Amino acid sequence: MAGIEVTSLHKTYPDGTVAVEHVDLSIGDGELFVMLGPSGCGKTTTLRAMAGLERQTSGDIRIGSTVVNDLPPARRDIAMVFQFYALYPHLRTRDNLAFPLRAEGLPKAEVSERVDEAARLMRLEPLLDRKPQRLSGGEQQRVALARALVRRPQVFLMDEPLTNLDAELRADMRTEIKHLQAELGTTMVYVTHDQVEAMSLGHRIAILNKGRVEQIGTPLEVYDRPASLFCARFIGSPPMNLLEVELTDGALRAPGGLVLTPPAGLGRDGSLVAGVRPEGLEIASPGSEDSIPAVVVSAEALGDEIIYVVDHGGDHDVRVRMPPTVRFAADAKVGLRYVGGTPPVYDSSTGKLVA
Ligand code: ATP
């Protein structure tokens, strides 16, 4: 097994597009590391550079103790699974799995042992004699994962492997990938633009924006304290409410009258924006303690929760997450209360977390 060190990775494509700008990543041995970001942020390019499918313009990639910059993909001891799982259509599952091992020239008995083990891990035993056209999308994806597993690589590289599956299958496969990675303990780098997938899978998440790393942290770290306004807008559904605030008399005051507790060490410089999660606000009866007057604009009932859009007299309406049992009609006059503890605060001109 092996960790991965990416140092000052830079990629400019021949047409001049800068896809990756001086990215540093230190991925632990046995870690499930997620690269998350919007389309075009450079995550696939970074992953393909790790795989050896794309040559970086500059920077180093180390897998285990080996600098792999000049090694072809086949000599990097990695297995990659893509969004489009190209199985051989004329081969049965068993032979699709055996293919990379036969290509390596492994003895027959070992091929068969490894295929059986991968089939057991991915619960493919009943499907070993079927060809891809007789498999569902989820089953085909399990075969693609199993085909990566049989190689027993030092590192798995996954590029949006669940994108083509429906919501229920995605959730199931997510659980399977997570269990599998924990069971095998193999380092995995997983690329996605889906923050729910990133949060539920990753030991740590790197959030990329325009070829640069904006933040690296555990799912809870990036949720609780996004490192920039970009991360604050990207993580969470709905995302954080971003309130322009002023620091006066030891309190953060937002237009409309909400008062928040400032983080320790916050200076008065710059124009400040506080990040307030929808669950950091609460709708209460009008006039109730610690609340400011507000009006319900609309409600989105999601079954297990209701997201209310509330006008509190500020520059922007805020979103408030409430249990499904608490019902307010549109136009209801209510109280709005802050219950979110100390919020992260950003400098609106740099977009960076200041405290
Ligand atoms: P997606 O989620 O859409 O796959 P991504 O975050 O994986 O996006 P990349 O595919 O790494 O992003 O692309 C990063 C940037 O590099 C984008 O601006 C993209 O248009 C550009 N790019 C990718 N491949 C090439 C190429 N072969 N030639 C020129 N530009 C490219």
* pLDDT tens digits for range 55-114: 999 999 999 999 999 999 989 999 998 877 789 999 999 999 999 899 989 999 999 999
Q: What is the mean pLDDT of the chain?
A: 94
Question: Nearest C-alpha to atom 5 of ligand 1 is from which residue?
Answer: 40
Please state whether 164 falls in left (phi above 0), alpha (psi between -120 and 50) or beta: alpha
Residue 240 contacts residue 277 (beta carbons within 8 Å): yes
Q: Are strands 18-27 and 187-192 parallel, antiparallel or unpaired?
A: unpaired
Ligand 1 mean position, distance from CA 246 (Å): 40
* pLDDT score at 336: 97
* pLDDT score at 157: 96
Ligand 1 mean position, distance from CA 111 (Å): 37
Question: Nearest C-alpha to atom 15 of ligand 1 is from which residue?
Answer: 19
* pLDDT score at 349: 93
* pLDDT score at 298: 97
Residues 6+ apart with CB under 8 A from 178: 32, 200, 201
Residue 43 contacts residue 21 (beta carbons within 8 Å): no
- The confidence band for 257, taking pLDDT boundaries of 50, 70 and 90, is very high
* pLDDT score at 249: 87
Q: Does domain 241-347 have CATH number 2.40.50.140?
A: yes
For 171, half-sphere exposure in the C-beta direction (CA atoms, 13 angstrom radius) is 2
Q: Retrieve residue 26's tokens.
A: 């230190």
Ligand 1 mean position, distance from CA 42 (Å): 6
Q: Which residues have any ligand 1 atom within 6 Å of their CB?
A: 13, 15, 17, 19, 37, 39-45, 193
What whole-number distance in Å separates Cα of residue 68 and Cα of residue 306? 50
What whole-number distance in Å separates Cα of residue 120 and Cα of residue 23? 38
* pLDDT score at 317: 96
Question: Nearest C-alpha to atom 20 of ligand 1 is from which residue?
Answer: 40
Three-state DSSP state, 38: coil
Asked if the peptide bond before residue 238 counts as cis, ω within 30 degrees of 0, the response is: yes
* Ligand 1 pocket, mutate which of 44, 190, 213, 214 (most atoms under 8 A from CB): 44
- The confidence band for 267, taking pLDDT boundaries of 50, 70 and 90, is confident
Q: What angle do CA 268, 275, 285 make, to 5 degrees?
A: 110
Ligand 1 mean position, distance from CA 48 (Å): 11
pLDDT in tens, 100-134: 899 989 999 999 999 999 998 888 999 999 999 99
* pLDDT score at 141: 87
| pLDDT greater than 90 at residue 269 | no
Question: Nearest C-alpha to atom 3 of ligand 1 is from which residue?
Answer: 39
Extents of the domains making up the chain: 4-230, 241-347
Sign of the four-CA dihedral 75, 79, 83, 84: positive
- The confidence band for 232, taking pLDDT boundaries of 50, 70 and 90, is very high
For 252, half-sphere exposure in the C-beta direction (CA atoms, 13 angstrom radius) is 27
| pLDDT greater than 80 at residue 203 | yes
In DSSP notation, 239-295 reads T-EEEEEEEETTEEE-TTS-EEPPPTT--S-S-EEEEE-GGGEEEE-TT-TT-EEEE
Q: 81 - beta bridge partners?
A: 158
* pLDDT score at 83: 78
Question: Which CATH number describes the domain made up of 4-230?
Answer: 3.40.50.300
- The confidence band for 315, taking pLDDT boundaries of 50, 70 and 90, is confident
What whole-number distance in Å separates Cα of residue 109 and Cα of residue 107? 6
* Ligand 1 pocket, mutate which of 39, 55, 162, 190 (most atoms under 8 A from CB): 39
More confident residue, 38 or 170: 38
Ligand 1 mean position, distance from CA 75 (Å): 25
* pLDDT score at 268: 75
pLDDT in tens, 1-24: 799 999 999 999 999 999 999 999
Distance between alpha carbon 242 and the CA centroid of its chain, in Å? Answer: 21
Among 195, 192, 183, which Cα is nearest to 234's?
195
- Rounded average pLDDT over 245-272: 90
- The confidence band for 138, taking pLDDT boundaries of 50, 70 and 90, is confident
